[in-house]
A and B are shown apart, each in its own frame.
Chain A
Amino acid sequence: MPKNPAMRRAKPARGPEKKRRHGPRLPTTMRRELDAMGPAPTRGSDDEEVSDVGAEDVYEYEEGVPEEEAGKNGRYDAVAKYEYEFDSDASEADEDVPSEEGEDMEEDENDDGEDEEKQIRILQETTGMPREAFDGKKRKQPLELPLQHGDGPVTIHDLLDNIQGKPGYSKVRKRLQQQEKKTMVMAAPLPKVEREKLERRVTYDTSRGELTKWERKVKHNREAPTLFFENDSNLGVNTIAAIANEFKPRTEFEKRIAEITRSTEIMEAHKNDGAKILELNKIDVEDVRERQNRLAKMRSLLFRHEMKAKRVKKIKSRTYHRMLKKDKLKAASADFEADPEAAKDYAMKQEFKRAEERMTLKHKNTSKWAKRILKRGLSVQDEGTRAAIAAQLQQNALLTRKMNSMKDDSSSEGSSDDDDDENDSEAKMLNRGKEKILKVLEEDKEIPNSGVFSLPFMERAMKKQEDAAYEEARQALEEYDDSLRKLEDDNTEQNEDLIKVTGKRTFGPAKNTHKNVNKRQKLEETENSDSEYDSDPAQHLGDDEATTKQDDIKLGTALLDDEQNDLYRSFDDIMKNPGPKTTFEVGMLAGDSWKTVKSSKGNDNDITNKSKLQAPSIVDLNPKQWDNNPDSDSEEEMVEGFLTISDTKESYELPSQAELIRQAFAGDDVEAEFEKDKMEVLNEENPEPEKPALVPGWGQWTDIQQKKGLPSWMIKEHEIAKRNREEALKRRKDSKLKHVIISEHVDKKVEKYLVRNLPFPYTSKDVYEQSIRMPIGPDFNPAISVSALNRPAIVKKPGVIIKPIQYEEVDPHQKPDEPKRVIQRVTPNQNAKKASSKQSKGATSHKRKW
């Protein structure tokens, strides 16, 4: 078939001609065969087909000339036909029409018609006779058809008669007869609705294809950060390689060189070289087989495993699963002992579970079921339900309880690692013992808040018990401390490395005595912060420990005190006489903000008293802190020189009693004052709701009304307002910071720098804020990226006309990182045209050029 697009496009335009195709026709295969046998005799039957294939747009209007084609009366003689044939050859040579099968003589015929017209015109002019006179001369009917009688249509038999006796005739006839035996029943044409539906579908499909091909390009354009519109400035020469490719030898010398380089020998040699390289790539058959085997084995293994998993998964037996779970647990516990990694994993999982629980409170009677039951009353429920509820709560308690985190362990390990090199094993052992005791002490203070243990007397008893145990433990600790101190006396080396001591949990491991000095500083700090904001101690004790249980803290601080005391004592033993202590008691006694006052700090052995102590005052610490500073460089002197002076060692004079008292009171005042200030600010920003009160004279008419008191709605309103206020206070940034007031006042002048609504394409605030996190100016970015960051979405030179979008192939995998250049050609490029013509195959009249 000819590939000329113009010819194909002619097809749909042949509307009226189609109607003539009704008669019985040979199947296409047969027709082809016939064509192969010889073109001339079958011309008549082929006529339509020919016009179908070879018609050009230009000739269409002449195609329907009936006198020439439909003239079946054989008026025309054979001579005319010969003439026609001759003519056709000539015209073909002239026009150089690509005709592969040599059967599109149609146009030639038309040519002939034109010639004839001309002839007639010439005759008319020369003779002056009317046109009709010459019309009779017209030769037509190129086919040798048998004479027809009447207007009956041409049958296949008519056509067959023509080729009688030619080779292949019998074959054709036989097939025809076979076909005729089968009585063909023409299917009734589809109803119009159906047909139209089909048509629509086809149209839809094609048009969809037509549109979707644009998708890529459009997507590309939309995603491109910048579109450049520029005119085609391509001069046609791309690369040096391209130029070299088009090189043709012209001079003698060039020709000779070309001859040599393109000679077969050299080419061959080149090729052989390549083949040699390829040879190295050969793979051993054995290897391949082995690999295949291995793969097959793996596959089969996998398959079996899968099958097994499927089977196991289907098992519904409860006992089986229970056993499985048990096994797993056992294995896991064994694992934990074996490798810490698994233990860590497990701990992480647990931690996650607990966090989840804290977040969702899934087991805290939040479920629909639990709520319903609680609503109906727990006492009404049967035993099982109650048990279930209790179990759930238990689960919740288990999950939300504070755990010994992994951190402590690691830190203790780290610290022990730290002093591995310098510490002897004895100290380590002692430390470990101490640690353990501390742990025990800590662990035992969990008081269940439900069940029998929550009863007050049980609680009391437990506390007593705890105290006793605690006492015991402390004595043990004391012992440890003593021995440690002894050790430390020997050990003169001072380690400067600090261990992070945070919260009560970790001071166990930090109890290495040769880190005495640093640790003491730390302890002081924690204590200081404690005393400064002692009504909210949990928060200041350490960030990691946000325990709110008061007794925990008491215990912690008490422990702290204890140890600190010991430490101080030890320190004093080593360094100083405990002189100033007596004087400090005054300041301490003066401070009235502390709930309990230590009566005898100097007395080291009095332990029971101290355990009740909450926190010592700050003032008593100061002198010690003071001498803490010079202790590190204690007796060392600075070398004289420059402007420095070395003789004076900081001589600290004790402040007078009056001053101490003043300071202590000043501190108190400051705190109270600040609290008051904060309250004021809070009240100002979130005013307290007015107390509910009746308007005098209203709602007090009768005795009953007065007895009833305020109406319930008023009280409710008040409560709601109160709750709202509390929530608002809780939401404040400074709600947990006792010593800070952060103004929540909204500054209107700042508001103009904020975005009121999220800008359009963004749907989430985070994404938007993250997208503007980088400054894009030249001060913050290297010169390379500044221009790229600040380029407008469309770049266009003035005067460039933006043409409608052109279709071109786009590589779908190419990312639109670089700015996209849309190059507009004056004439649509050749490739695009080709592609479009390919696309328009089967489409309806598609004359638009891209």
Chain B
Amino acid sequence: MAPARVNAEKQDAEDELEMKVEKYSRGKGADLKALRDKKLKGQLAVKEKLYGQSAKVAAKAEKWLMPSEEGFLEPDNLEKTYRFPQESIVQEVDLLSSRKPFDMILPVLGPYTIEYTSNGRYMLVGGRKGHLAMMDMLNMDLIKEFQVRETVRDVAFLHNEQMYAVAQKKYPYIYNQHGAEIHCLKEHGKALKLQFLTKQFLLASINSFGQLHYQDVSTGEMIANYRTGLGRTDVMRANPYNAVIGLGHAAGKVTMWKPTSVKPLVTMLCHHGPVTALAFDRGGHLMATAGVDRKIKIWDLRKYEVVKSYAARGQSLDFSQKGLLACSNGSQVEIYRDFGGHDYRLYMKHRMLKGYQVGKVLFRPYEDILGIGHSMGLSSILVPGSGEPNFDTFIDNPMETTKQKREKEIHALLDKLPPDTIMLNPNLIATVRAPKKKEKKTKKEIEEEMEEAIEAAKNTEHKKKTKGRSKPSKRAKKKEEGVFRAKRPFLEQSKEVVGRPDKKQRIGEEVELPKALQRFAKKPQS
């Protein structure tokens, strides 16, 4: 009995490892048997073996070095997880976690919006009426708090907590952590929403005229400025997978943008009314949208199809690192969880005090916490299973020291991606591009073809003719003619490619310089 169980366990462990290995080997290798080139086959076989080893080691590392798993609320047979109030959850969790949820009542300076750094350590709070504050959430202390005395529409951290952008009444501004204003980004205009693309160091904003701006914050260069032409909107989210910006519009459309294309990459008709909120999953394949038509839809972005549709209102949406979906509606916050196969069902529910309008919900990275910015301040609640339990210090480190932070900043700058790399499918890079319908030939290609044609013309056999028509001189002449005839179309082509029409020369001839300047003119080569 016992050995059988041990065997079964062993088998299970092996299966698990295999699954992980599959994950790390990123798809299957090529079918080497079909290859005919033996040298390539040998090289690829060696490479594949290395890949396999690497995947295996990575899987093992994951197994042994990242043992913590997210824990969800587990109901007894008749209980429902969404009936658990925060109170009872707080009672059950450990001391450290029980200190994390809080409510901050700030009734004066209006509805609040919040933002976390990518490592989840710092929180930026923006009150509509000009209140800005940055907090260290690890030791819960206020780093800086100040008043800008004008409307604050949105806040966004740049690459780390050292700088952040704030969309204010007329323009977005960039402040440093001490609250000193560093830049005023006038070109963006009256920005309604800000998003920062970390890998590309781009600050994207949408302003009240529906213009989308991309600005490189490392060089200060304005990368792109596009008119969406779809009206004012304040629904904007960046897809963390491919850094494509998603915008929700009043006509029920969701458009996706990249900095190098004037037209949206994808336009989807998602709702029958205006789109109120938008969120992307971390994997980039799922998108959640909420509309005025009282629907929340979850889309598969690979097929552009609805995976799931709910009848519920959503003022703001957010996906957690582990795929929970938070949705706010009036003073109520609902959290959905994927129960397998994109079957999102209600997982938790939280109700604020009546009259508190929730403005923004945002999951805190690497913590099981949902931050809520509402009309009377901000609060945070515990959502078990929302955050990634294992953090990779190469990517984000919530416990970063100053030195590490500096190091990371430099590395991030060195690894900065150019804005062209933003595309719907980033895996496309380095693949073979699809053949164009009509590709212009290069000069070299034209020359090669011409040579071939000439060769062919030279080698054509001429008929033997009588009465002196096959004299050597005649034959030579004929051959020459043939060559010329073969050459002519190519010469015309190359002229097109080079794009230097004779016009220029003619102009040069025609325009006579005044006599005083003629001596400076380039002498005609003769």
Contact = CB atoms under 8 A, between A and B. Distances in A.
Interface of A: 219, 222-223, 225, 498, 500, 524-525, 528-529, 532, 540, 543, 618, 621-622, 625-626, 628-629, 632-633, 636, 638-639, 641-648, 650, 663, 666-667, 670-671, 673-674, 677, 681, 734, 737, 739-743, 745-747, 749-758, 761-774, 779, 781-782, 784-785, 788-789, 815-817
A636 B252 contact: no
B251 A673 contact: yes
A740 B267 contact: yes
Contacts of A756: 432-433
A625 B311 contact: yes
B13 interface: no
B40 interface: yes
B6 interface: no
B26 A629 contact: no
Contacts of B31: 767
A768 B432 contact: yes
A727 to B, nearest CB: 12
A763 B27 contact: no
Contacts of B30: 764, 766-767, 770-771
Interface in B251-268: 251-253, 260-261, 263-268
A628 B306 CA distance: 20
Contact of A645 (B273, B351, B420, B436): B351
B51 A774 contact: yes
Given A622-B311, A784-B57, A754 B39 contact: no
List 5 tightest A-B contacts by C-beta distance, closest first.
A625-B311, A223-B42, A667-B272, A754-B433, A641-B87
Interface stretch (B77-85, B116-124, B458-466): B77-85
B53 interface: yes
Contacts of A770: 27-30
B491 interface: no
Given A742-B266, A782-B58, A629 B312 contact: yes
Interface string B47-67: 101110110011001000000
A772 B37 contact: no
Contacts of B103: 642-643
A647 B353 CA distance: 10
Nearest to B308: A525
A645 B45 CA distance: 64
B26 A749 contact: no
A745 B87 CA distance: 54
B294 interface: yes
A674 B269 contact: yes
B86 A644 contact: yes
A777 B421 CA distance: 18
B54 A765 contact: no
B35 interface: yes
Interface string B347-379: 001111110100000000000000000000001
A754 B44 contact: no
Interface in B390-430: 394, 420-421, 423, 428-430
B25 interface: yes
Interface string B268-287: 11111100000000000000
A741 B266 CA distance: 6
30 contacts: A525-B309, A618-B272, A618-B293, A622-B294, A628-B311, A632-B80, A641-B85, A642-B86, A643-B352, A644-B86, A644-B350, A645-B353, A663-B273, A667-B273, A667-B293, A670-B269, A674-B269, A739-B269, A740-B266, A741-B268, A743-B264, A747-B260, A753-B420, A755-B432, A756-B432, A757-B432, A765-B432, A771-B29, A773-B27, A789-B47
A769 B431 contact: yes
Interface of B: 25-31, 34-40, 42-47, 49-51, 53-54, 57-58, 61, 80, 82-83, 85-88, 90, 101, 103, 251-253, 260-261, 263-273, 293-294, 304-306, 308-309, 311-312, 331-332, 341, 343, 346, 349-354, 356, 379, 394, 420-421, 423, 428-433, 436
B358 to A, nearest CB: 11
Contacts of A645: 331, 351-354
A648 B352 CA distance: 11
Contact of B272 (A225, A670, A752, A769): A670
Given A671-B269, A753-B421, A816-B42, A663 B293 contact: yes
Nearest to B352: A643
Contacts of A621: 311
Contacts of B268: 739-741
B57 A643 contact: no
Nearest to A728: B437
Nearest to B306: A529
A740 B86 contact: no
A666 B29 contact: no
Contacts of A222: 39, 42
B304 A737 contact: yes
A626 B313 CA distance: 10
| Max chain A Cβ within 10 angstroms of own Cβ: one of B37, B47, B54, B61 | B54
A797 B260 CA distance: 46
Given A528-B309, A816-B46, 18 more contacts: A225-B43, A225-B46, A625-B294, A632-B80, A633-B83, A642-B87, A643-B353, A650-B332, A666-B273, A673-B251, A737-B305, A742-B304, A750-B420, A750-B423, A751-B433, A763-B35, A767-B44, A785-B50
B42 A639 contact: no
B261 A743 contact: yes
A749 B420 contact: yes
Contacts of A740: 266-269, 304
Contacts of A789: 47, 50, 54
Nearest to B61: A782
B49 A817 contact: yes
A529 to B, nearest CB: 6
A626 B40 contact: no
Given A674-B251, A674-B253, A741-B266, A636 B83 contact: yes
B332 to A, nearest CB: 8
A543 B341 CA distance: 14
B272 A772 contact: no
B261 A747 contact: yes
Nearest to B41: A223
B80 A633 contact: yes
B155 to A, nearest CB: 23
A407 to B, nearest CB: 15
Given A784-B53, A785-B57, A644 B351 contact: yes
A326 to B, nearest CB: 40
A782 B305 contact: no
B28 A223 contact: no
Contact of A629 (B61, B101, B270, B311): B311
Contacts of A784: 53-54, 57
Given A670-B252, A674-B251, A761-B40, A774 B87 contact: no
A626 B43 CA distance: 61
Nearest to A755: B432
A673 to B, nearest CB: 6
A823 to B, nearest CB: 21
Contacts of B352: 643-645
A638 B88 CA distance: 11
A663 B28 contact: no
B523 to A, nearest CB: 40
Given A761-B40, A766-B30, A743 B46 contact: no
A397 B332 CA distance: 57
B353 A529 contact: no
A779 B265 CA distance: 30
B2 to A, nearest CB: 31
B85 A638 contact: yes
Contacts of B44: 767, 771
Given A643-B352, A737-B304, A743-B264, A754 B46 contact: no
A670 B309 CA distance: 19
A755 B430 contact: yes
Contacts of B101: 642
Contact of B436 (A643, A739, A746, A779): A746
